[in-house]
Amino acid sequence: MNILNRPFNTPYHTPPFSKIKTPMYGEAILEEIEKTKKEIQAIAENPENPDFKNTIEALEYSGEQLEVITSIFFNLNNAETNKEMQQLAQEISPALSEFANDIRLNEKLFERVKAVYESRAALDLTPEQSMLLEKKYKSFSRNGANLPEEKKKELRAIDKELSKLSLKFGENDLAETNSYELHITAEKDLEGLPDFALEAAEEEAKNRDKEGWVFTLNYPSYIPFMTYAKNRELRKKMHLAFGSKGFQENDHNNTEIILRIVNLRHQRAQLLGYKSHAHFILEERMAKTPEEVNHFLEELLEKARPAAKREFSQLSSFARETDGIDHLEKWDGAYYTEKLKQKLFDLDDEKLKPYFKLEHVIDGVFAIAEKLFGLRFVPAEDIEKYHEDVRTYKVTDHENQLVAVFYADFHPRKGKRNGAWMTSYKPQYIKNEENSRPHISIVCNFTKPTGTTPSLLTFNEVTTLFHEFGHALHGMLANTTYPSLSGTSVYWDFVELPSQVLENWCYEKAALELFAKHYKTGEMIPMEYITKIKESSTFMEGMQTLRQISFGLLDMSWHEKDPANITEVKAHEREVFKRTDLYPDRPETCMSTAFSHIFQGGYSAGYYSYKWAEVLDADAFELFLEKGIFDRDTAKSFKEHILSQGGTQDPMVLYKRFRGKDPQPDALLRRAGLLEK
């Protein structure tokens, strides 16, 4: 029997990665689909009258092993993929999409769900049960259960194609990232680059059997190069390579895929009775309509644009005075921003990185989690890893009870997509009076240690680690009955609150003193550096805010109207960016063709949620500042009302229970320096 088709006989039932061969996933998933079909059929044909337990709860717990297998497979397809796995994903995804539609379009099943839903007023349900019932009903009604048979067939075809297109988009992006290298052999071309970047590039060259230095489009290589390399032509070369991913005349071009995706999404929404894909998505978000999202973005734009223009003018003048640069280009932005920051604050990553050894930062975030929530992280060698770089931990509370299993995967490699994310191999839920604890993972792309230097993080990477760890806490501290409402299973404009709020601790002296110590001497980070970190936290914030707003507007432009008349991806993008652009455009680059968040991830019609959640996080952290950043009562309230509750109730209800009032947008503007404090 396939090892994937039965509960794992391992510590905490974690995946036995070494025993799973790639073809086993396909076989196991097809077998579990058939098993789950029988479970669904039994629910649909149950002769008893439909009630919450025999219909809604039964449906919730159907296909448990299928969920386990697909979580492992798709997590690894992002973090440790290869051609065989990608090919299998292309075969599996349509089958899973078809199966999901088999459930959602099952008339007998929907009749039972609908019967329970329509009698809900007479049922004595808890708030969580009410939310589960509503979610189950909407998962049918919002996905075609009320459609005539002909339209259901059309919906199935659309969903099948969308699942394949989304995968292909991601594969193209990864292929473009992996295929480019900047090979440097002349030392003069390395001027300005810090030792950590040079050492990593030298190591990369050795790994590729080359002399000299190799820089890639992976973030730990690309970002330091763009930030420090004095050679402007080489910065241009790197920027154009990065900016043209998915936009070149080759097999990895994503333009037609994008046009097909947005048109299919629109058709799907129309089929279901919605004006657009954005209208469909936002019905299940805190911001209920495209109008509300656009109003939110426009309001921020109005506040940020004047500040961004002033900052750009300041940066342009600085580049002109420093190096005689007449026109600032996109490949100059990070370089001169860093130079100006050094001049104004006498602070740069070269000074800070020695104080942010990866292991120390990990210890620091663990110490903060212990101070706030009483958690302990114990390295667990008995938990198997999918790659040698992965670290595994058993997470316990102050009574030594298991809270979660935690995987941490920090370094880039060929089979891993760029960026950073949190995911789960198993959700938390309560069944048969047993509280089954979650298996949570964070995946990042930080510089690997070399022969002589440990992994040292930039301050931006420190905040990234805290961000993903905030998501992880949301997953770990979940305490709900039903898996589909657990942890990060919340509205997507609420999901970034726990992650973004935790970033705030990176700027606080009492938190930095827990982990920011020199990797050679053990000396604590100097107080003046802490002051400068705080002072520089809003440096160029107007430009940064404008950039995020531009991505949100681009996302909405793809999804809030009928895209049938959009024939050129680049031309459409240019039209949207006219209002937010500060730098001249380059015709050979395109943002959309590598915009994985909305074309591969789940952020379509939802990119605005980063800024939306920033309003919540700035407002929430003001309470911690008022009470003390390690105040246990405030942390307990945040855990009880936010982190443990998952999607069991409306997020604004949960937020107001924690905060005692509506969130105040001015908190974000104050923190960003866009409003007087």
Is residue 133 domain-shared with residue 221, that is, in the same domain? Answer: no
Provide mean pLDDT across the span 495-516: 96
**Does 448 map to a domain?**
no
pLDDT in tens, 594-610: 999 999 988 999 999 99
Is residue 89 domain-shared with residue 190, that is, in the same domain? Answer: no
**Does 220 map to a domain?**
yes
Provide mean pLDDT across the span 322-326: 96
How confident is the model at residue 165, as a pLDDT?
97
Rounded to whole angstroms, what are the CA distances from 434 to 403, 429, 431, 481, 486? 13, 8, 5, 10, 15
Least confident of 313-327, 419-433, 660-674: 660-674
Among candidate residues 492, 446, 335, 409, the one with its CA nearest the CA of residue 80: 409
Among candidate residues 22, 98, 31, the one with its CA nearest the CA of residue 65: 31
Is residue 19 domain-shared with residue 77, that is, in the same domain? Answer: yes
Catalytic residue among 468, 503, 560, 573: 468
Is residue 79 domain-shared with residue 211, that is, in the same domain? Answer: no
Domain boundary among 195, 222, 243: 243
**Does 306 map to a domain?**
no
676 — pLDDT class (breaks 50, 70, 90): low
pLDDT in tens, 387-424: 999 999 999 999 999 999 999 999 999 999 889 999 99
pLDDT in tens, 178-193: 999 999 999 999 999 9
Rg of the Cα atoms in the chain: 25
468 is catalytic: yes
DSSP symbol at 400? -
Would you say 317 and 328 are in contact if contact means Cβ atoms under 8 Å apart? Answer: no
Is residue 142 domain-shared with residue 30, that is, in the same domain? Answer: yes
**Does 129 map to a domain?**
yes
The continuous run of DSSP H or E covering 118 comes out as helix 107-118
397-436 burial: b if 16+ Cβ within 10 Å, else e: eeeeeebbbbbbbbbbeebbbbbbbbbbbbbbbeeeeeee
**Full-prediction pTM beyond 0.75?**
yes
State how far the Cα of 193 lies from the Cα of 189, in Å rounded to an integer.
9
Is residue 74 domain-shared with residue 190, that is, in the same domain? Answer: no
196 — pLDDT class (breaks 50, 70, 90): confident
Rounded to whole angstroms, what are the CA distances from 511 to 111, 395, 417, 426, 508? 54, 21, 31, 31, 5
Residue with tokens 């009630």, as numbered in its chain:
51
672 — pLDDT class (breaks 50, 70, 90): confident
**Does 161 map to a domain?**
no
How confident is the model at residue 157, as a pLDDT?
95
State how far the Cα of 60 lies from the Cα of 57, in Å rounded to an integer.
5
**Does 277 map to a domain?**
no
Is residue 93 domain-shared with residue 219, that is, in the same domain? Answer: no
Is residue 22 domain-shared with residue 140, that is, in the same domain? Answer: yes
Provide mean pLDDT across the span 490-496: 92
Among candidate residues 60, 1, 61, the one with its CA nearest the CA of residue 28: 1
35: containing domain:
3-146
pLDDT in tens, 75-93: 999 999 999 999 999 999 9
| Cross-strand pairs, 132 | none
Is residue 20 domain-shared with residue 85, that is, in the same domain? Answer: yes
**Does 636 map to a domain?**
no
pLDDT in tens, 631-659: 999 999 999 999 999 999 999 999 999 99
Would you say 513 and 480 are in contact if contact means Cβ atoms under 8 Å apart? Answer: no
Is residue 225 domain-shared with residue 109, that is, in the same domain? Answer: no
User: Number of structural domains, the chain?
Assistant: 2
Domain boundary among 243, 259, 288: 243
Domain boundary among 100, 126, 146: 146
Would you say 374 and 64 are in contact if contact means Cβ atoms under 8 Å apart? Answer: no
Higher pLDDT, 347 or 216: 216
**Does 51 map to a domain?**
yes
Does the structure show a pLDDT above 50 at 677?
Answer: no
CATH of the domain at 92: 1.20.1050.40
- Give backbone dihedrals phi and psi of 349, rounded to 5 degrees, phi first: -65, -30
Does the structure show a pLDDT above 50 at 236?
Answer: yes
How confident is the model at residue 76, as a pLDDT?
97
pLDDT in tens, 115-173: 999 999 999 999 999 999 999 999 999 999 999 999 999 999 999 999 999 999 999 99
452 — pLDDT class (breaks 50, 70, 90): confident
